[in-house]
A and B are shown apart, each in its own frame.
Chain A
Amino acid sequence: MFLESISLKNFRNYTDVNISFSHGTNLILGKNGAGKSNLLEAIYILSTSKSFRNAADNKIKRWGTYNYNVKGVFSSENGEYEIELSYVKDKKRLLINGAPEERISNILGFAYCVIFFFDDILLVAGPPKMRRSFLDLILSTIDPLYFEYLKNYLSAFKQKSRYLRDSSSIDYNLLKSWNEKLVDSGSYILHKRYSLVRFINSYIDKSVSEVFGFRYPFKVVYQTNVPRTNNEDSVEHIQSSFTEELEKNTDKEIRVSQCIIGPHRDDLVFTDEKHDVRTFGSIGEARLSSIILKCAQAEFYHQKKGIIPILLIDDILLELDKKNMEKVLILIYAESQKVITTTEVVKLPEIFLYDQMFNIDEKGNILCKGIRKPTQ
């Protein structure tokens, strides 16, 4: 999948720019605060409708303006898509190939992108919610049904939580009805998350170990309070295990007035079979583990959808030592399109080549668009 061009209006520090990208590696060069990451943010927003920096839309629009507009042309084997997202009068609007879409979430599944950036380290060291969101984003992107079940689960969860909190006497029949709705959507969520985690581990075992030249010691473990069954390919098995656990804990849930069983409490743990990387690993190890998770995301899109995603890399590789950085560069697809930001070209390793360079000055003008290919 390739991003052909993007145009931004009143987006962050850009008033009105059009940029055409190379299908290979695009290097964005600029000083701190020049607006390099804002370009990646614009591309990413066309992939998920949200900023990877978790910024609200009214922060994304250019200071002093009321709306922004991002339009990108993407191409894949299935043809070209034009995705346009605008923010007008506090509301987002999505156009795909010029036709308005009713729901903004319909944006998922068109432009496949994987972002590598500073906060990725939170995937390993941050709160469990970050890891659940990571799994949810990947699965929602490739499977619209997952997204719907996730929404259903969330509303049933909110309703049940409120019921447990506000009711002085609990009607068991009603509690059971909410539980059935939780099981209905939650089992599908668990089923898909299990299989994604299995995929990540096999990716670490094979691809990562191959590139690093030894058996990469870490794996991810999906932690859930729903007892695992020996047949996780079957949603029915998960349903009965989930139902049973909810029934077992009904009294406890009533006592603490909270939903304590279900995938909303789950977590993903990086371990080397003995230790949790969060507590025993170095920052470098945590960083590397988070990058590997992102590489697995790219590979998952490729395996499931036959699409090589666009890789957006925001200065991240520079926190690794040179050897690991080179390994990661090998691990990420050679044939994928990349948009990479950096402050100085000299920081990049020798094996790093680029097809096109954009130079952003302090005022956010994109000055140099010439193609430069360094000699190896």
Chain B
Amino acid sequence: MNEQSTIQRLINELSKLPGIGRKTAERLAFYLLKESDNVGRGLAEAILEVKQKVKFCSVCGNLTEGDPCGICCDPRRNRKIVCVVEEPKDIWAFEKLRTYNGVYHVLMGVISPLDGVGPEKLRIKELLKRIEASETEEIIIATDPNVEGDATALYLSKLIKPLDISVTRIASGLPVGGDLEYADSVTLSKALSGRRPL
């Protein structure tokens, strides 16, 4: 393999990453070539290590190095409340809150027949088993507020409600600190219909 194709291979691999196009991949590749060996080696090692060590939690589906994950093992967490999210990265968003004290369940996607994703491809069976095996009292469904996320939430509620467990959906509305005039009309109308007495 000559230099040309080695560099080409790196550029190809980099451009497979989300949000990185051909141009950016080239820039990154030439940056790595120019910088000291440590930069490239550090990055390569970090990538290899993360793929070796990080696994999905067998209970909630979160990304973790130990199994079950830190959140599932934490005795201070309230196991009666389970927040259902689409992706592990959604857990990170919730964890930044520091106020949510329940546990999570990652679906690994949403129902979308156009993408060939049905309920059987998601971690729904695991959720139902988990509910049966533990003393769950409330399920909070936090899928994205779009057509697919809503339909998935509706579907889950139909499965879980007969088990006599309360099912809630996170509210959608205006971003805090945002300007009302910049909100899109659907957000504004949802915020209006979900208004609360003061």
Residues of A in contact with B (beta carbons under 8 Å apart):
144-145, 148-149, 152, 155-156, 158-160, 162-163, 166-167, 171, 173-174, 176-178, 180-181, 184
Q: Is the CB of B185 within 8 A of A159?
A: no
Interface of chain B, helix or strand or loop or mixed?
A: helix
- With A145-B186, A148-B186, A171-B119 given, is the CB distance from A177 to B154 under 8 Å? yes
Total A-B contacts with CB atoms under 8 angstroms apart: 57
Contacts of A156 in B (CB 8 A): 147, 151
A-chain residues with CB within 8 Å of residue B189 when the two chains form the complex: 145
Main secondary structure, interface of A, reads helix
| Chain A residue nearest in CB terms to B152 | A177
Interface residues on B, range: 20 to 34
List B residues 146-168 near A (Cβ within 8 Å): 146-148, 150-152, 154-155, 158-159
| Residues of chain A with a CB closer than 8 A to B147's CB | 152, 155-156, 159, 181
**A181 with B185: CB separation less than 8 A:** no
A152 to B114: give the CA distance in the assembly, Å: 15
Which residue of the partner chain, among B114, B158, B159, B186, contacts A159 with CB atoms under 8 Å?
A: B114
Residue pairs across A and B with Cβ atoms less than 8 A apart, 25 shown, are A145-B185, A145-B189, A149-B186, A152-B147, A155-B146, A155-B148, A156-B147, A159-B114, A159-B147, A159-B151, A162-B114, A163-B118, A166-B113, A166-B116, A167-B118, A171-B119, A174-B111, A174-B151, A176-B154, A177-B152, A177-B155, A177-B158, A181-B147, A181-B150, A181-B151
- Cβ-closest chain B residue relative to A178: B151
What is the distance, in angstroms, from A187's C-beta to the closest C-beta of chain B?
14
Q: Which residues of B contact A159 (CB under 8 A)?
A: 112-114, 147-148, 151
Q: What CA separation (Å) do A184 and B153 show in the bound complex?
A: 14
List the A side residues contacting B112 at CB < 8 Å. 159
**Please, which residues of chain B bring their CB within 8 A of the CB of A149?**
186
A160 to B151, CA, bound (A): 10
Closest CB in chain B relative to A169 CB, distance in Å: 10
Measured CA separation A113–B50 after assembly (Å)? 57
The contact of B158 among A160, A163, A173, by CB within 8 Å, is A173
